[in-house]
Structure 1
Amino acid sequence: MDKVKYRFNAPRLAPRRTKLEIPGWAGPREPRANGSHEQVWHCVPFSEGAQYGIELFYPYDNELHVSTRDGKLELEGDWGPAPESGVQWPPFRNFGDGFYTYQLLLDLKVEKGMAIRTEPHPRFYVDRTDTVPVAVPALIRNWWPMVFFCVFKSPAEGRTHIFRPGEPFAQIIVIPEEAKFELEPMSEEEAAERELQSRRIHANRPALSAGTEWTSSTDTVFDGTYRHLHRAAKDKARQG
């Protein structure tokens, strides 16, 4: 099993594997049943994608409000005196008004050949208030011993992003440091095989989804075809 090791110089900044918060940012605990409203955790691809990385939590006791007014970025928070460690204080800085930075003081060490990539926390994609910070994607190689800062996109004019104590504000995923792949069209044989697989799933969908169909409160029909095939594929992989 690959290891991701960490050290940090700020209180309560310990990272953890990203979790779906239900109830919470991922939605209420509604069943997959007729009349329920669709929730992001009902979707297996989203749930797996959301839990793929490492989530980072805002470690300070004060809220930070980040706003754009008349084209200028404003950072509002009661920070108090700077700590004795001599770190940048406040830890947030304007970065050309279109962005701002956070001196994270977190070091993540990944295996050789791997890197870490920052990205928005999954709750950004389900937020309806437009207040979740937007972390800018960045690839950090494993030879870099300290993630000194994380960059965020500034909110739109008149909008405010809010960092609240204990809330996740960004996610980190671990990926190969080089994208060693090439794009090429499938051969006729490969394309025919994929098409045959697709048609078989379509033809057997009633059996694959038996007992799992439901209609949401917005009249969208769902079933468990992907979920059942996903479970079967994982069982097959475990058995070698």
Structure 2
Amino acid sequence: MQKVKYRTINTGLKPRRTKLEVPGWGGESQPRADGSHEQPWHCLPFAESARYGIELFYPFANELHVHMRNGSLVLEGDFGPDPGTGVQWPPFRTFGETYYTYQILLDLKVDPDWAIRTEPHPRFYTDPTDTVPIAVPALIRHWWPMIFFIVFKSPAEGRTHIFRPGEPMAQIIVIPAEADFELVVMDEDEAAERELQARRIHRSRDTLATKTEWTSSTNTVFDGTYRHILSAAKAREKNRPDGG
């Protein structure tokens, strides 16, 4: 297991493994049962992806509202007087009109051959208000000693992004430093094997859905097939002998 070591000037960032907040941005606490409305956490691929990284919280006591008005970016928030720490103040500033930055001063150390990547917090994808800040993806390699600033995408004209105390504002994921893969077309044998697997899964859906199938309030049927197979795959991986 890789350890990600960190140091930060502002303890309010509270780096931690991302948690899927239910109730909260992950959806309401509605069961997987007939009549429930679909929730983001009901989708296991999304739920696993949302918990994959490290979330960073807005560390200040005041709210920051970021507006786009008549093509100009406006940062509206009272950060008080410069504390005289040598840190850029206020810590947010425009970056052209299309982006703005936050001087985060966060150091995340990963093993060689690995890197960290900034990205939007997963609550951006579940937000119905279009007010969640959008962190711009950036890959930073293990030898770089500190993230001096992160970049956010400006809101659209007439829209406002809001930073609130204690709310997550961005996510970090740990990935291989090099995208060392080649995209190739499957050969006939591989394609046939995958097609056979897909057909077997499709034929087994009724069996796997026993006692777990439910229909949402919008008449969408959920059968739990992916969830069942994932549980089986994890159990097999856990019980596999070393080197097996």
Instruction: State if a TM-score over 0.5 links the two structures.
Output: yes
Which residue is 1:135 aligned to?
135
- 1:60: how far off? 0.3
Letter in 1 for 2:33: A
Query: Within 2, Cα distance between the matches of 1:156 and 1:144?
Result: 32
Query: Within 1, Cα distance between the matches of 2:192 and 2:125?
Result: 35
2:223 aligned with 1:223: yes
Aligned positions of 1:168-187 closer than 5 A? 168-187=168-187
- 1:11: how far off? 3.4
Q: Secondary structure at the match of 2:38?
A: coil
- The CA deviation string for residues 102-132 of structure 1, in whole angstroms up to 9 with x for no partner, is 0001110011110000000000001010100
Which residue is 2:54 aligned to?
54
Which 4+ runs in 1 deviate beyond 6 A? Answer: none
**RMSD value, Cα:** 0.6
Which residue is 1:121 aligned to?
121
2:147 aligned with 1:147: yes
Name the TM-score, length of structure 1 as normaliser: 0.99
Are the equivalent residues in 2 in contact too, given 1:69–1:158 (CA < 8 A)?
yes
Which residue is 1:78 aligned to?
78
- 1:141: how far off? 0.6
Are the equivalent residues in 2 in contact too, given 1:22–1:29 (CA < 8 A)?
yes
- 1:24: how far off? 0.6
Are the equivalent residues in 2 in contact too, given 1:11–1:60 (CA < 8 A)?
no
Are the equivalent residues in 1 in contact too, given 2:205–2:223 (CA < 8 A)?
no
Query: Within 1, Cα distance between the matches of 2:69 and 2:205?
Result: 52
Are the equivalent residues in 2 in contact too, given 1:214–1:221 (CA < 8 A)?
yes
Query: Within 1, Cα distance between the matches of 2:163 and 2:143?
Result: 30
Which residue is 1:27 aligned to?
27
Which residue is 1:65 aligned to?
65
Query: Within 1, Cα distance between the matches of 2:12 and 2:80?
Result: 18
Name the TM-score, length of structure 2 as normaliser: 0.97
- What is the percent sequence identity of the aligned residues? 71
Structure 1 stretches of 5 or more lacking a match? none
Q: Secondary structure at the match of 2:94?
A: strand
Query: Within 2, Cα distance between the matches of 1:53 and 1:214?
Result: 30
Are the equivalent residues in 1 in contact too, given 2:25–2:127 (CA < 8 A)?
yes
